[in-house]
Amino acid sequence: MTLPSPFWSDATTTLYQGDSLRILQALPTASVDAVVTDPPYSSGGMTMSARQAPTSSKYVLTGTKVQRPEFCGDNRDQRSFTLWASLWLAECLRVTRPGGVLLSFIDWRQLPSMTDAVQVGGWIWRGIVPWDKTEGVRPQMGFFRAQCEYVITASNGPMGDQARTRRICMPGCFRESVHSREKLHITGKPVELMKRLLDILPAGSTVLDPFAGSGTTLVAARAMGMHSIGVEMTEEYAAIARDRLAGTATAVASATATAQA
């Protein structure tokens, strides 16, 4: 299978627009150091009919002032989600070098299905890292606030030598607020959170995000001195990611020129 032309690229970053599974199948074996991603959860709503609703009605709180485009692939039931996730996770395993890591976001509803899919896909499941979104999110009167999502951690076989030689001990929980000014996707994650997660990798690593959304993982990877490959199906979000990456590339070039002057 042949890779399509990139939607956008420069010396460190390549962004494809299209179906992630098809593009993953065309990527070379053992070509990335890590997969860091935030796939569609297909979890908004307690019934199948609720899951078929537009993503903006499932994940956006009433009264939100800034509306973002809908995104694709968020209407699977439990079994089809698990099957679909195991397929792309198996391709990600093939593309990841031995000893490489997987960091994938998920919520409480799909946590059991996703950890099953990770193992079906061939990864060694290492655990979960909670992301505390702080107290300002999703209150539930008379019950617990839904303020956490989770990062599933896994590896392609035994952890590589870098895990032992870098002498770094990562936190077991991250607390990071979502700021509306940088939330360019309905379910977007903070850039600072992504940078903190990428600390597990040495500079110069290549990171793959098969569900790039508005490009936050790619922007964070650039800031951390890493190469990255992203795939996004929804064209509107691919365009947002492209514009963000083009903007950060200009800013980095300007800062470098100023420093060298």
Q: Could you tell me which of 136, 129, 133 has the C-alpha nearest to residue 111?
A: 129
Determine what percent of the chain is predicted with pLDDT higher than 90. 64
217 vs 159: CA distance, rounded Å: 22
How many Cα neighbours within 13 Å face the side chain of 171?
A: 14
Helix (H, G, I), strand (E, B) or coil at 79: helix
Q: What is the pLDDT of residue 177?
A: 86
Domains identified in the chain, total number: 1
- Give me the CATH number covering residue 83: 3.40.50.150
The CB density around residue 151, as the number of other CB atoms within 10 Å, is 21
Q: pLDDT tens for residues 87-144?
A: 999 999 999 999 999 999 999 999 999 999 999 999 999 999 999 998 767 677 888 8
Question: Which residues are 125's β-sheet partners?
Answer: 154
Q: What is the pLDDT of residue 188?
A: 79
Confidence of residue 252 (pLDDT cuts 50, 70, 90): very low
C-alpha 118 chain-centroid distance: 15
In a domain, 224, yes or no: yes
Tokens of 1: 């299978």
Q: pLDDT tens for residues 65-88?
A: 555 666 466 667 889 999 999 999
Task: Evaluate if residue 222 carries a pLDDT over 90.
Answer: yes
In a domain, 3, yes or no: no
Question: Which residues are 129's β-sheet partners?
Answer: 151
Which residue range is the domain that position 112 belongs to?
Answer: 8-260
Tokens of 47: 């019934």
Q: Could you tell me which of 119, 43, 97, 106 has the C-alpha nearest to residue 206?
A: 97
In a domain, 218, yes or no: yes
Q: What is the pLDDT of residue 63?
A: 47
Q: Could you tell me which of 24, 13, 34, 35 has the C-alpha nearest to residue 218?
A: 13
Can you point out the beta strands (E) in 65-203? Answer: 96-106, 124-132, 148-155, 174-175
pLDDT top residue among 118 and 45: 118
Mean pLDDT, the chain, rounded, equals 86
Confidence of residue 62 (pLDDT cuts 50, 70, 90): very low
In a domain, 98, yes or no: yes
pLDDT top residue among 136 and 188: 188
**What average pLDDT score do residues 179-194 get?**
82
Q: What is the pLDDT of residue 236?
A: 93
In a domain, 41, yes or no: yes
In a domain, 1, yes or no: no
In a domain, 251, yes or no: yes
Is residue 94 within 8 A of residue 86, CB to CB? The reply is no
Tokens of 152: 């599933």
Q: What is the pLDDT of residue 182?
A: 73
Q: What is the pLDDT of residue 77?
A: 83
In a domain, 32, yes or no: yes
